[in-house]
Structure 1
């Protein structure tokens, strides 16, 4: 049986940090075992990784995923996600430099931290009214991302990146507000109750990170 938690809000960020760590372990695994030649196809792979992440984000928002499952599944998913994003991150590291990629990662952490603090300072459920708008925006983003496969214009990619950053920033406000409401209702008992919340916030984080990198890459090139 999972242990009960004294501070679920702090615990969700602990598990999120572990999830991001598993992502980078997956990235290191990809570096070690995936042929470097695949990196050359990273820009093509990127669009499909983003589409996959968007579909998963939509599924989780529409309750297509269980509300409670083992946290170990989250770690397995983020590890696999790290492997899948290895060619993309490696391309960004080569084109932009490791320093810019690291600065972007730190910037994403700062965005997550600030928005989480803002949402947590409001009463439980304060930003839940954004739910439908964000969901419809996310579906629209997915549609236009698929269309962008056939219309490969720099301006299109820049607009999609900015839209993605805005939408998933809104989802951070929403997800923290939802978590706070679930805590206030007494629905968070152990770490498995946090699993879907950790996954959602992870998806917010990684989509903002990839969109920021793509925006910087498009502006540079």
Structure 2
């Protein structure tokens, strides 16, 4: 019999509990939700779990937080363990549905600290969320972090909109760039691992 791995595990790091200790169950404003995402993203790379990325899923209208996610590629050893995938998967687990837009569920939105990479673009589109809130888009993320985000088309937001997923952009954009700049300083100092499978993006 072939000896193969039969499961993999992706979990939030233990420090998440500290960061969420004072966070109310309902965070009504999108800026407040994005501030939480930025805080998680900044701590995540400093803890060594993965890149400077975080996300959360909230009930769009009430602001109730359903899940949070951070990039745990390094700590899990799983390349697809991006913040959006973690947050969406945990939200689906919490609701008991692979479709976050299923009948009987409130509308959900994903809040993330930059436009999703090519992998998370598809994961978001197929998750059932009805809203996507991003801190920003553009080349700055790749320039600052050196990550390869993949070939996301210029009409990325329109593709979401045609599928009934509202896109809200530029929510605390400067704060996202501050996190990325701090990460870049650590990259240049050789203090963190940039996990591009095809080498460092230039």
Relative to its length, the structure with more strand (as a share) is 2
Instruction: Decide: shared fold, TM above 0.5.
Output: no
**Higher gyration radius (CA):** 1
Q: TM-score, normalised by structure 2?
A: 0.26
Q: Which has the higher contact order (CA 8 A, sep 6+)?
A: 1
